[in-house]
Amino acid sequence: MKLAVLGGSFNPLHLGHLYLADSALLAFHFDRLILVPAYVSPFKRHDPGARQGQKPLPAETEPPSAEPPLGEAAPPCQASPEDRLDMILASVTGDPRISVEDLELRRGGVSYTIDTLTEIIDRYRPEQHPALILGDDLAAGFSKWKQAEELARRADIIIARRIPGPGKPENPDFPFRHRFLHNKVLDISSAMVRDRIARKKAWRYLVPPGARLIIEERGLYGAIPVYGTGQTNAPGVPADLSRIVRVEDAVREILSPSRFIHSRNTALMARDLARRWGLDQGAAYLAGIAHDMAKPLDPEALLALAQEDGKEISPLEQKNPGLLHGRAAAVLLQKYFGIHNRDVLEAVAFHTTGKKDMPDLARAVFIADKIEFSRPAVPSRLRDLAGQENGGSGELLRAVAEYTVRWLKARGLEVAEETLELLDKAGKNGETP
């Protein structure tokens, strides 16, 4: 097996790291490239993380013989070693050419590349010397690394460019056998990403999606999640982004592109309504994205799944099992995604027909499902109402219920009892939010 090793702080991993890895894999035909996050970078000062509940990293002095991994400059570290490892693991899914070694994290303290390389050779038993990919910014100091000569003898050293620009990598009299990787460099560094996060500047698409989610979810480097959470963050509410993303990924696979666009628009509008009404925005988005996930199932499957919620199947539902796709989706969310939040499950289950006395989150999803922006021929008055920053849910719910009943009748479709009750109740209550 042809191995390559790429070390670094990966604080955080960004697209430039993976682009370099991909470039090296293709240029030298490695079978496997091993990413090795450093426990601490010996040439960097690390502040104990600003994040609450994070274990402070040990204070470091700069040992003269220690070498920095492929590194960047040095603002405070606010991600723990576990965070950094998680970000890497979440970013290389589906790429069998890349593996991740946590040996330096487990070892703790200062790690030397010679020790890491020795352990990798011992365990992987490669037929040839593994490649060690070095940034040209580090090559100048290589001679001072622990057992530099031995390291150069046991590794096939590849010097890669780190700073964007033309020409081959800088080679300040590198005294050992080596090869160059003539790579194109993305103008991204971990320090830049951290700095941009801290200063509330655009950063989200400088890192792989997996890393982005972890940074947001854990508030690393001062990141603020885009979802925000409302006041009703009851136990079980899926505040964690990765769960939302898992559901969204599944829904995207299950539904046709146009049905998925409808689901996503429903999620977005439900979330907007939730924000205005002081509800949990993540829960609204999740319910919106999942509401139609059972839509493609056949009638038998819908009946079987819906029955699992323990409620009766109405005569109309018997006659038209398609109406059960909301209830079936709520069962799927519980069974396969571990979602037990009642507000979310009810919003998904009731979205088709609506129901009188629906909780606010269910109102948001019912409304969004009927009038989201990809639905054709929705009266603009309804979208105006939905867009009102200070609008309550009462008038909007009544208008949407009326519209739904009119729409069904115009097509000669039977209107569910629940929808008529909803309209009746909403009409009486008028503006009640």
Cβ atoms of 216 and 226 closer than 8 Å: yes
Residues between 360 and 379 with contacts to Fe ion, criterion CB under 5 A: 369
Least distance CB 263 / Fe ion (angstroms): 7
Tokens of 262: 């409808």
Cβ atoms of 188 and 14 closer than 8 Å: yes
Which among 289, 280, 316 has a CA at the least distance from the CA of 372?
Answer: 289
Least distance CB 375 / Fe ion (angstroms): 9
Nearer to Fe ion, 213 or 290 (CB): 290
Tokens of 337: 């995604």
Tokens of 119: 């352990």
Nearer to Fe ion, 343 or 369 (CB): 369
Nearer to Fe ion, 221 or 350 (CB): 350
Helix (H) or strand (E) holding 33: strand 32-37
Least distance CB 292 / Fe ion (angstroms): 4
Least distance CB 348 / Fe ion (angstroms): 9
What residue has token string 């293709």? Answer: 26
Total residues in contact with Fe ion, by rule CB under 5 A:
2
Nearer to Fe ion, 24 or 290 (CB): 290
CA distances from 29 to 23, 129, 430 (A): 10, 14, 69
Q: Give pairs for 309-314: CB < 8 Å, separation 24+.
A: 309/349, 314/416, 314/417
Least distance CB 433 / Fe ion (angstroms): 24
In angstroms, rounded to a whole number, what is the distance separating the alpha carbons of residues 347 and 365? 6
Cβ atoms of 39 and 150 closer than 8 Å: no
Least distance CB 101 / Fe ion (angstroms): 45
Least distance CB 83 / Fe ion (angstroms): 37
Helix (H, G, I), strand (E, B) or coil at 243: helix
Least distance CB 262 / Fe ion (angstroms): 6
Half-sphere exposure (Cβ direction) of 431: Cα atoms closer than 13 Å? 2
The sign of the torsion formed by the CA atoms of 390, 393, 395, 399 equals: positive
Least distance CB 117 / Fe ion (angstroms): 55
Nearer to Fe ion, 223 or 251 (CB): 251
Cα three-residue angle 72-77-83, rounded to 5 degrees = 105
Nearer to Fe ion, 38 or 382 (CB): 382
What residue has token string 């539902």? Answer: 317
CA distances from 87 to 83, 216, 288 (A): 6, 11, 27
Nearer to Fe ion, 89 or 415 (CB): 415
Question: CB within 8 A of 49, min separation 6: which ones?
Answer: 55, 56, 57, 77, 78, 79, 80
Residue 94: left if φ>0, alpha if ψ -120 to 50, beta else—which one? left
Least distance CB 260 / Fe ion (angstroms): 11
Q: Output the CA torsion 54→58→61→67 (10° steps).
A: -80
One character per residue 280-299, x = contact with Fe ion (rule: CB under 5 A)? ------------x-------
Helix (H, G, I), strand (E, B) or coil at 238: coil
Nearer to Fe ion, 105 or 294 (CB): 294
End-to-end CA separation in angstroms for the chain: 65
**Pairing between β-strand 98-100 and β-strand 178-181 as defined by DSSP bridges:** unpaired
Residues between 162 and 181 with contacts to Fe ion, criterion CB under 5 A: none
Least distance CB 265 / Fe ion (angstroms): 9
What residue has token string 């309550």? Answer: 392
- Which residues form the interface with Fe ion (CB under 5 A)? 292, 369
